[in-house]
């Protein structure tokens, strides 16, 4: 399969080994993809070694690649692009980060491009954060907060009302830019 340079790669968060030589991979954007490794056998016969169940189940997910040994690996982006979507689950934490960023940016009357310039970032990265398609580091969030002349606040919030860590005034994420 030809590799195409992309600006954004989808991070895989969970790997499950299914029957035969099929994988089920959950990505950070909430898509769950099924990929049959036997689809590679004809073009790349070395993958036939994965018919050995012990070898197949020894694969390790390393965010953007699944590795079996020095000779066998697959980029998770190939699974994302060529796999079959079996379901969509709620995106992980980063979906909650985008809303405070978008709200703070709009309250300052800035476009994504203007915020990106102030934060020394690409506009596409701001867009991905706001849409919940990126999982920004605390450092990146701090750059955004600084560009907005705001304070980055991260709290651990309990879901239980009688817990001392319950903050009803916070959004679900426990993350604010103010």
- DSSP symbol at 76: H
What's residue 172's pLDDT? Answer: 47
Min mean pLDDT across 29-38, 61-70, 87-96 is at 87-96
Model confidence pTM above 0.85: no
Q: Is the pLDDT of residue 94 over 50?
A: no
Torsion of CA 91, 113, 177, 154, to 10 degrees: 50
Residue 4 in any domain: the answer is no
Tell me, yes or no, whether 84 and 18 share the same domain.
yes
Query: Helix, strand or coil for residue 33?
Result: strand
Please answer whether residues 148 and 177 qualify as being in contact, where contact means their C-beta atoms are separated by less than 8 angstroms.
yes
Q: How distant is the alpha carbon of residue 2 from its chain centre?
A: 23
Q: Is the pLDDT of residue 8 over 90?
A: no
What's residue 126's pLDDT? Answer: 93
Tell me, yes or no, whether 82 and 103 share the same domain.
no
Residue 6 in any domain: the answer is no
Residue 69 in any domain: the answer is yes
């Amino acid at each position: 399969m030809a590799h195409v340079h992309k600006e954004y790669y989808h991070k895989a968060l969970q790997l499950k080994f299914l029957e035969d030589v099929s994988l089920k991979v959950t990505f950070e954007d909430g898509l769950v993809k099924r990929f049959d490794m036997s689809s590679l056998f004809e073009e790349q016969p070395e993958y036939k070694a994965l018919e050995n169940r012990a070898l197949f189940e020894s694969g390790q997910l390393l965010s953007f690649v699944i590795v079996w040994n020095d000779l066998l690996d697959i980029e998770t982006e190939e699974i994302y692009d060529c796999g079959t979507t079996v379901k969509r689950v709620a995106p992980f934490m980063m979906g909650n980060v985008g809303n405070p960023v978008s709200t703070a940016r709009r309250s300052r009357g800035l476009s994504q491009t203007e915020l990106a310039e102030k934060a020394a970032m690409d506009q596409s990265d701001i867009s991905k954060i706001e849409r919940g398609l990126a999982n920004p580091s605390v450092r990146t969030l701090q750059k955004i907060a600084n560009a907005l002349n705001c304070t980055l606040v991260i709290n651990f919030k309990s879901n239980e009302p009688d817990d001392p860590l319950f903050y009803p005034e916070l959004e679900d994420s426990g993350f604010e830019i103010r």
